[in-house]
Structure 1
Amino acid sequence: MRLGRRYALAAAGVVLMGMIGCSPLTSESSAVAARPNTESPMSKVVIPDTKLVNSNTKFGFKLFSEVLKKDKGANVFVSPSSVAFALAMTYNGAEGTTQQAMAKALEYSGLSLQQINSSNAALKTLLENPDPKVQLTIANSLWTNSNASLNPSFMQRNRDFYASRVTNLDFTDSGAANTINNWVKDSTRGKIDKIVEQISPDQVMFLINAIYFKGAWTEPFDKSQTKEQPFTKASGQIVQTPMMTQRGKYKYLENNKFQAISLPYGRDGKISFYVFLPKENSGDLKEFYQSLNSLNWEKWMPQFQSRSGEIRLPRFKMDYEVTLNDALTALGMGEAFSDKANFSGIGKNLAISTVKHKTFVEVSEEGTEAAAATSVGIVALSAPMNPPFSMVVDRPFFTFVRDNQTGSILFMGSIVAPQS
């Protein structure tokens, strides 16, 4: 993939749905007409509930931990926000014990459906206005099979709270997948060009989330300072990699276990790229992940202080793909994948078949570009002043992109072998 000189992040999530014994739905060839709803629409919500942000953070770390178990020793990069938005839309159709199982996995304890939807609507609005020089858009859509009988209130809630575009398609048409993929491509500015490979006969719905971010470092790295330097991979192998260098004042945190830095984007730095680097004498990245949880997270974030120093960071890019079924099952959502699944809030006899996640990221002197896609398939049931620091990221590290205003984690990754 050839990348431009301006840098962007994009994420997309899609929910695929299928059904047994569906009665025909009165077909609408274009976007389904809006229906009145007494619940609060997006325009009436302004401030997201911090409980939802905390829930999303807990879920993101749990999901990341489960993914790491599968891809030991490999680079990992996921978008917790994309997965959370896609599953929140799906959660609107869950009932009974399936709803309880999803609530457990998504850390929704103590949150009503109204709170979840209203807070997601407010979060979407707030995230989309981070900085005059930063673009961040979140788009949602529902694509329904024209012969399926679905609950109109489910689709209306997705319109009202997630600003979802709802469109009926003939899924037997050979061009249906391309129609959906073109929307994803447009919504991610071409960073994700395909999320639906093919449409099976029992498919009834796709719910898609797309996140797009475009920005540059507040202080770009000087390309003339980038030099080939050694990086020690998790295996112990030493490889030469382009290392970017910069000096200045940064939000910085250091203890006896790790160094951490915040590199801001745009004019106001409301969104930042964070790097956590375990110290050489305190264990490796695997040991660091044993302490990476929401409780420690809440302790660490306020401890970042402005401090002068130097950062050397690899210029890297990577692609990543993972199926999340096992991870979500381990988090307590197994029923949603089984014949006991209850998505009667959407229609009859539905269950999740596959949750897939794909990402791409590149970090360079000018900024960061990344893309992510989440596919959920549902089918029929059969400190004080300190001296300057030096932070040389020459070994495996943890990184994430965070909206500092809301605390939402947009992307997170484990970089053990940077490639350029």
Structure 2
Amino acid sequence: MKTYYRSTAISLLTFAMMSFPSLASPIKSIPAPSNLAVSPNPIPPKIAINKVELDSRLVKASTKFGFNLFNQIFQQNPHKNIFISPSSVAIALAMTYNGANGQTQSAMARTLELEGISTNDINNFNQLLQVSLLDSQNDTEISIANSLWINQNIALERSFVEKLKTYYQATIKNLNFDDSSSTQIINDWVKQQTKNKIHQIVKRASNDTVVILINAIYFKANWANAFDKSLTNLKPFTLENGTTIQHPSMSRLGEYRYLDRPKFQAVRIPYQNRRFRMDIFLPKNTSSLAEFQQQLTLQNWQDWSDSFQINTGLVQLPRFKVEYELELNQVLKSLGMQIAFSPSADFRNLTSSASSISEVRHKTFVDVNEEGTEASAATSVRVFRGASRTFQMIIDRPFFFAISDRQTGTILFMGTIQNPALK
């Protein structure tokens, strides 16, 4: 079942974006070009947003899993644009986790950072998180949808199905996986939930497929202060190999929450309702994205999150649009879930038929432009039978970014841009 959230961009893995400490040494004032658009609405020192009381163990777990997942993907694809939704992956695997038992359940718990936390607490957390995201205003559109597609020839445990209906509001359908039209039915559902941004998440199904579990997320929000399109111009962007390309970049002078550390700069750009924001981390010329990734830990994130300070500055940001897809099997195996993909997998809480995960596929889309951001993600799990300072932040080289929810302290999307000209 689909739910739309207005005035809210999504986040599910506590990638909580932040507010950071004052700089050790002041930055010199930098005169800005007179033709830049200036923010008409200064950022208030504190914006009253009621923090939703979520289980802190699970907030930390989801954040840590998100960083582990992203770091593993980055290691395998260090020279490519990456964009993932850790929240989408976490929800899809949390649904699957309800069917695991024994060593398979233990391995999934370690990978998802859920050791010592009951399944009931996990389900309650995900339910409360999604309810919280429903509590929004009118400037942002969000939807989160879950579904369970069942092989009509397989009997599932009633308790498993009831948990997905109760806690995840999942659409539940029986399909004939021998019929080639079943794949199209599932993909049409994903296409609808992601506003036509993701057309295919399931490439094939067969009679050996027990179930396919899917999470889909859609997010669209305008910036609190839009970039003036007339100021978007071709600007140099230096790639990792030192090559310089010309790419359309947006510019605006205004008040932002800003952080300066020895190895990177960071700026927070709020969306219209200010509950959601994009944080952008730009490694300095003496550093690199690979070095930044080594610092990307839960502890550092929490430290950085309290350190942003309001400053007036110039932000130059390249427009970019990315479509990203990958199979997560090897990534999840590297994180400790090998048994879930093996003949030894134990999913007796899902079905009495011997089953294992055959594929976890993730697909995303993001478009960042002068008005704001549109993003979507889908994750499928196929279970198989048998087995006041002035600054300048010129984002003209590879950078990391994330979109998070201030109210719940969770993250929905994160990525790295190596080349903004690539889609």
Q: TM-score, normalised by structure 2?
A: 0.86
Aligned to 2:312: 308
Contact 2:341 2:358 in 1 (8 A): yes
Q: Which amino acid aligns with 2:253?
A: R
Matches within 5 A, 1:77-156: 77-156=83-162
**Secondary structure of the residue that 1:303 maps to in structure 2?**
coil
Aligned to 1:361: 366
Alpha-carbon spacing, 1:230–1:79, altered in 2? closer, same or farther (3 Å): same
Aligned to 1:411: 413
Q: Is it true that 1:381 corresponds to 2:410 in the alignment? A: no
Q: Is it true that 1:291 corresponds to 2:295 in the alignment? A: yes
Report deviation, 1:374. 1.6
Q: Deviations over 1:41-94 (max 9, x none)?
A: xxxxx8431221211110000000100111121111111000000000000000
Residue 260 (structure 1) aligned to one of 258, 266, 276: 266
Distance in 2 of aligned mates of 1:151 and 1:306: 53
Matches within 5 A, 1:177-192: 177-192=183-198
The root-mean-square deviation of aligned C-alpha atoms, in Å, is 1.9
Q: Which amino acid aligns with 1:304?
A: F
Distance in 2 of aligned mates of 1:356 and 1:370: 17
Contact 2:235 2:249 in 1 (8 A): yes
Matches within 5 A, 1:33-44: none
Q: Deviations over 1:358-417 (max 9, x none)?
A: 2222111011122222222221225xx3x2111000011001111111121111101111
Distance in 2 of aligned mates of 1:321 and 1:179: 20
Contact 1:11 1:373 in 2 (8 A): no
Report deviation, 1:100. 0.5
Distance in 2 of aligned mates of 1:56 and 1:11: 10
Residue 216 (structure 2) aligned to one of 202, 210, 215: 210
Q: Is it true that 1:371 corresponds to 2:376 in the alignment? A: yes
Q: Deviations over 1:236-294 (max 9, x none)?
A: 11000111001111111111111111111123x1111110001113x111111111111
Contact 1:11 1:209 in 2 (8 A): no
Report deviation, 1:166. 1.2
Aligned to 1:164: 170
**Secondary structure of the residue that 1:197 maps to in structure 2?**
coil
Q: Is it true that 1:396 corresponds to 2:390 in the alignment? A: no
Distance in 1 of aligned mates of 2:200 and 2:10: 13
Q: Deviations over 1:147-175 (max 9, x none)?
A: 11110110100111011111112222332
Contact 1:398 1:413 in 2 (8 A): yes
Q: Which amino acid aligns with 2:59?
A: V
Distance in 1 of aligned mates of 2:136 and 2:250: 26
Q: Which amino acid aligns with 2:294?
A: Q
Q: Which amino acid aligns with 2:402?
A: F
Contact 1:137 1:212 in 2 (8 A): yes
Aligned to 1:342: 346
Contact 2:54 2:129 in 1 (8 A): yes
Distance in 1 of aligned mates of 2:68 and 2:215: 21
Report deviation, 1:188. 1.4
Distance in 1 of aligned mates of 2:252 and 2:366: 21
Q: Note the residue ranges of structure 1 that are not aligned, 5 or more in a row.
A: 1-6, 13-45
**Secondary structure of the residue that 2:333 maps to in structure 1?**
helix
Q: Deviations over 1:332-375 (max 9, x none)?
A: 11110111110100012110112121222211101112222222
Distance in 1 of aligned mates of 2:212 and 2:383: 8
Distance in 2 of aligned mates of 1:215 and 1:290: 30
Matched residues, percent identical? 47
Q: Note the residue ranges of structure 2 that are not aligned, 5 or more in a row.
A: 1-6, 13-51
Distance in 2 of aligned mates of 1:305 and 1:127: 26
Alpha-carbon spacing, 1:10–1:197, altered in 2? closer, same or farther (3 Å): farther
Report deviation, 1:201. 2.3
Q: Runs ≥4 in structure 1, deviation > 3 angstroms?
A: 7-12
Distance in 1 of aligned mates of 2:381 and 2:229: 40
Q: Which amino acid aligns with 1:245?
A: S
